[in-house]
Amino acid sequence: MQHSQNIFYKINLYNLSLLPLYIIFIIQYADIKVIENYANYETLKLFTSDLVSLNTKVLLFLILSLIAFIGYQFFLKNNKYNREDAKKFENIESKDFDHLTFLSTYILPLITFNLNDSRGFIVLIFLLVMIGAIYIKSNLYYLNPTLLLFGYKIYKAKNSEQNVTLIATQTIYNNCIDSRYIDLGNNIYFLKDSDECR
């Protein structure tokens, strides 16, 4: 049960990481001529039918965007509970640049796909699924440019000689901190508060 919850959690964060891509596709491919000609439609049913048929792919990305926002709320809720006692983290180093690496490596190249071409759309979906599988199996779900936009920061650190990844909403200036945390699994911790080591 716990394993399936973790997979669901990671899929949510992966989908959230693609939110900038979804928004770009919506802006690029939304056909608003139907809306502009709304007065020419005799019934709401005809208007809705044309709107959906001309914006099927855009509707898909709108739904995925909505799921991403729901996933973000799940992320917030999950990180309110089950706080562990303070743990020491040392050799702390900012890794916010990794967010930009994910953005430039995975998201920006996908913008070039022509979604009006059915084959190009199928290839895009295949790539998103394949990247997601790698992302989840490699436990790289903390690489999330959307979280960066929402004010989250990524750090690499050591705890008891183990290399760990820290997700925090605060900027950490110290090389060593004591912090309560939530264990996200696979040596990834969400920090709740932090103080300089004594």
Question: Residues 48, 53, 56, 59: what is their CA dihedral angle, to the nearest 10 degrees?
Answer: -10
Assign residue 176 a region: left if phi > 0, alpha if psi is -120 to 50, beta otherwise?
A: beta
Q: What is the DSSP string of 44-84?
A: HHHHHHHHHHHSHHHHHHHHHHHHHHHHHHHHHHHTTS-PE
Rounded-to-integer distance, Cα 187 and Cα 159, Å: 9
pLDDT at 46: 81
pLDDT at 59: 92
Task: Yes or no: say if 90 and 158 are a contact pair by the CB < 8 Å rule.
Answer: yes
Host domain of residue 40 = 2-196
Helix, strand or coil, per DSSP, at residue 17: helix
Phi, psi of 151 (to 5 degrees): 95, 10
Rounded-to-integer distance, Cα 75 and Cα 73, Å: 5
For 138-166, the pLDDT digits (tens) are 888 788 888 888 888 889 999 877 889 89
Q: What average pLDDT does the structure give for the chain?
A: 83
pLDDT at 71: 85
Q: Which pLDDT band, with edges at 50, 70 and 90, does 83 fall under? A: low
For 42-79, the pLDDT digits (tens) are 788 888 887 888 788 889 999 999 999 988 888 787 77
Phi, psi of 26 (to 5 degrees): -60, -45
For 1-21, the pLDDT digits (tens) are 445 557 787 888 899 989 989
Q: Which pLDDT band, with edges at 50, 70 and 90, does 188 fall under? A: confident
Contacts of 22 (CB under 8 A, 6+ apart): 61, 62, 64, 65, 68
Number of domains, the chain: 1
